[in-house]
Amino acid sequence: MFPLIKILRAFRKQIFPFRFIYSDNYWADLGEHVFPVVKYKLIYEALLRRGAKKENFLSPQLAGKEDLLLVHTPKYLKKLETGDLSHSEILSLELPYSPELLKFAFLFVGGTVLTAEKALEDGLAVHIGGGFHHAFPDHGEGFCVLNDVAVSLEKMKKEGKVEKVMVVDCDLHQGNGNAFIFSKRDYAFTFSIHQMDNYPAQKPSSSVDVGLWTGDGDEKYLSKLRSNFPRLYQDFKPDLIFYLAGADPYEKDQLGGLRLTIEGLRERDRIVIEEARKLRIPVAILFAGGYATHVNDTVSIHLNTVKVAQNIQRKYS
Give the model's pLDDT for residue 6: 52
Average pLDDT over residues 156-174: 99
Distance CA 257, CA 317 (A): 36
Mean pLDDT in residue range 279-296: 98
- Residue 87: per-residue pLDDT: 93
pLDDT digits (tens, 9 = 90+) for 106-154: 999 999 999 999 999 999 999 999 999 999 999 999 999 999 999 999 9
Beta bridge partners of 243: 168, 285
| Structure confidence by residue, pLDDT tens digits, 173-192 | 999 999 999 999 999 999 99
pTM value is: 0.95
Q: What is the CATH number of the domain that holds 300?
A: 3.40.800.20
Per-residue pLDDT averaged across 220-233, rounded? 98
- Give the mean pLDDT of the chain: 95
pLDDT of residue 14: 65
In sequence order, what DSSP letters do the residues of the chain get, joined into one string? -HHHHHHHHHHHHHHS-SEEE--TT-----SS-SS-TTHHHHHHHHHHHTT--GGGEEPPPPPPHHHHTTTS-HHHHHHHHHT---HHHHHHHTS---HHHHHHHHHHHHHHHHHHHHHHHHSEEEESS---TT-BTTB-BTTBSS-HHHHHHHHHHHTTS-S-EEEEE-SSS--HHHHHHTTT-TTEEEEEEEESSSS-SS----SEEEEE-TT-HHHHHHHHHHHHTTHHHHHH--SEEEEE--STTBTTBSS----B-HHHHHHHHHHHHHHHHHTT--EEEE-----BSSHHHHHHHHHHHHHHHHHHHHHH-
| Residue 13: predicted pLDDT | 53
* Overall domain count for the chain: 1
Confidence of residue 314 (pLDDT cuts 50, 70, 90): very high
Nearest to 103 by CA among 21, 23, 15: 23
Cβ 310 vs Cβ 17: under 8 Å: yes
Percent of the chain with pLDDT over 90: 93
Domain of residue 85 covers: 2-316
pLDDT, mean of residues 85-105: 94
CB atoms under 10 Å from CB of 290, counted, come to 27
Q: Which residue, among 156, 201, 145, 139, has the nearest Cα to 30 in the 3D structure?
A: 145
Residue type, 184: K
Average of pLDDT values for 36-59? 96
Question: What are 234-248's pLDDT values in tens digits?
Answer: 999 999 999 999 999
Check if the beta carbon of residue 286 is closer than 8 Å to that of residue 66.
no
pLDDT at residue 317 in the model:
79
